[in-house]
Amino acid sequence: MKILFIHQNFPGQYKHIAPALAEVPGNEVIAIGERPNLGRLRHPKVREVGYKPPQGAGDKTHPYVRRLEAAVRRGQQAARVGFHLKDQGFTPDIICCHPGWGEGLFLRDVWPDTRILNFCEMHTRTKGYDINFNPNAQTSLDGLLKLRVRKSIYLLSMEQADWGIAPTHWQKSSFPDFLHDRISVIFDGVDTDQVCPDPTRTFTTKSGLTLGADDEVITFINRNLEPYRGYDVFMRALPDILAQRPNAQVLIVGDRGVSYGRPAPDGQSYADMFWDEVKGRLDTSRVHFLGRIPYGDLVDMMRISSVHVYLTYPFILSWSMVEAMSIGCLIVGSATPPVEEMLTDGENGLLFDFFDAQQLAARVDEALSHPDRFRSLREAARRTVIERYELQRICLPQQLQLIHDVAAGRSPRGGSDTEADFADVPTLGRVVG
């Protein structure tokens, strides 16, 4: 079988799937991505082909369509690579594409008969979900109209696709109802044999402080420290947490940029803005900003965690929370739908109202005051991942089966209510117009 992966930041969500398919005798696996982002997978049987980073929207482009124009330019770059591969004789049996940045816009024009499986990370909504979730960060009418146009990137790509895959039911729910019976839900997967508890591990901060499982450690992880992941709420809870827990150390992982939502005002970083708000009311020597750290260090940090705090808007769930569950962390999480799909309060974690910093502080203090009482929650958190989200035994086999089903024109299990052959059924594009 010939398989093509397309992701501007390859391997992205395909870091386990692409190598697994490449190891099957007779398979040919090629990946297309933005040239500067390639080279991280380093698998000898996965050929990576890059395109030049596309130009963004022009200065005179209407603000509503700037994101769309940038996506069109990226889609054009991906299509050019596709035509080059086609000229070399490569026609894939299936294309696995993350269409969120526009790379899926023209694939049907390159390979009219190839099956397409789109990664459905999250669809932009103009009402509900993350939009206007925060009463202090409301989207203007102008912003809503921009989002309305931005929706077209995914819709145009899904119009060509044969099937979709979403990591969680919550993420699938963000897509229009008419697409739901063509989207399977399979989580990315966590290797629970590797991402596991180990009480013998230690973690050393940048200042040289070495901490172990017997220390009182509060952990917090974001790609970037920003409101979408509740960094502001966590900061506002810290003075009470540290006052109640005089021996606690706080480890914070994350960069100072913005992954989601609007930039911080006046050229500031959210990381500094909310730290400046609280640092005069707490012992700063016990708060350790670590930036981004190697993955192995991140796992060891979670292994020594006494309490792991995780918050998110109604948005894409972070891998780090599920990895923390796999390690057996005691998670204090925001009671928002993406978290609630994984955590049940009092069963495998503790929940609190996203905006209630005092309640967050109280739950952290409760968890640290009664570690024995909540040991069962740690065990249940890990068991949840082993039973539902394990990579090698559950998620990866399901992902590979889905790829084979779509490539063969079979209705995948877990997506549609029927098991009918869809070899002669039109693609989504011809179904929805």
Mapped onto helix, strand or coil, the DSSP state of residue 30 is: strand
Residue 183 in contact with residue 172, Cβ under 8 Å?
yes
Measure the CA–CA gap between 249 and 272, rounded to whole angstroms: 19
User: Is 84 contained in some domain?
Assistant: yes
Provide the residue-wise pLDDT of the chain in tens; the chain has 433 residues.
999 999 999 999 999 999 999 999 999 999 999 999 999 999 999 999 999 999 888 889 999 999 999 999 999 999 999 999 999 999 999 999 999 999 999 999 999 999 999 999 999 888 889 999 999 889 999 999 999 999 999 999 999 999 999 999 999 999 999 999 999 999 999 999 999 999 999 999 999 999 999 999 999 999 999 999 999 999 999 999 999 999 999 999 999 999 998 899 988 999 999 999 999 999 999 999 999 999 999 999 999 999 999 999 999 999 999 999 999 999 999 999 999 999 999 999 999 999 999 999 999 999 999 999 999 999 999 999 999 999 999 999 999 999 999 999 998 864 433 333 433 333 333 332 2
CB-based burial of residue 207 (10 Å sphere; 0-12 exposed, 13-18 middle, 19+ buried)? exposed
Question: Are residues 216 and 135 part of one domain?
Answer: no
Model pTM?
0.92
The answer to the question of residue 261 being in a domain is yes
Per the prediction, the chain carries an average pLDDT of: 93
Q: How far is 195 from 211, CA to CA, in rounded Å?
A: 19
Q: What's the domain range around 149? A: 2-189+391-432
CATH number at residue 313: 3.40.50.2000
Say yes or no: 298 and 417 in one domain.
no
For 72-115, the three-class secondary structure string (H helix, E strand, C coil) is HHHHHHHHHHHHHHHHCCCCCCEEEECHHHCCCCCHHHHCCCCE
| Judgement on whether residues 342 and 397 belong to the same structural domain of the protein | no
Q: Quick one: 276 and 348 in the same domain?
A: yes
Residues 243 and 122 in one domain: no
Domain presence at residue 172: yes
For residues 365 and 413, state if they share a domain.
Answer: no
Cβ–Cβ under 8 Å, residues 242 and 248: yes
Please state the domain count of the chain: 2
Residue 346 sits at φ, ψ, to 5 deg, of: 85, -5
362 and 270 in a common domain: yes
396 and 379 inside one domain = no
Nearest by Cα to 429 from 198, 144, 105, 142: 105
Over residues 162-201, the pLDDT tens digits come to 999 999 999 999 999 999 999 999 999 999 999 999 999 9
Residues 295 and 178 in one domain: no
- 216, 329: one domain: yes
Do the Cβ atoms of 3 and 21 come closer than 8 Å? yes
Identify whether 194 is part of a domain.
no
378 belongs to a structural domain = yes
Q: Are both 383 and 405 inside the same structural domain?
A: no
Considering the domain boundaries, does residue 197 fall inside one? no
Q: What is the pLDDT of residue 56?
A: 86
Classify residue 196: in a domain, yes or no: no
Shared-domain flag, residues 120 and 260: no
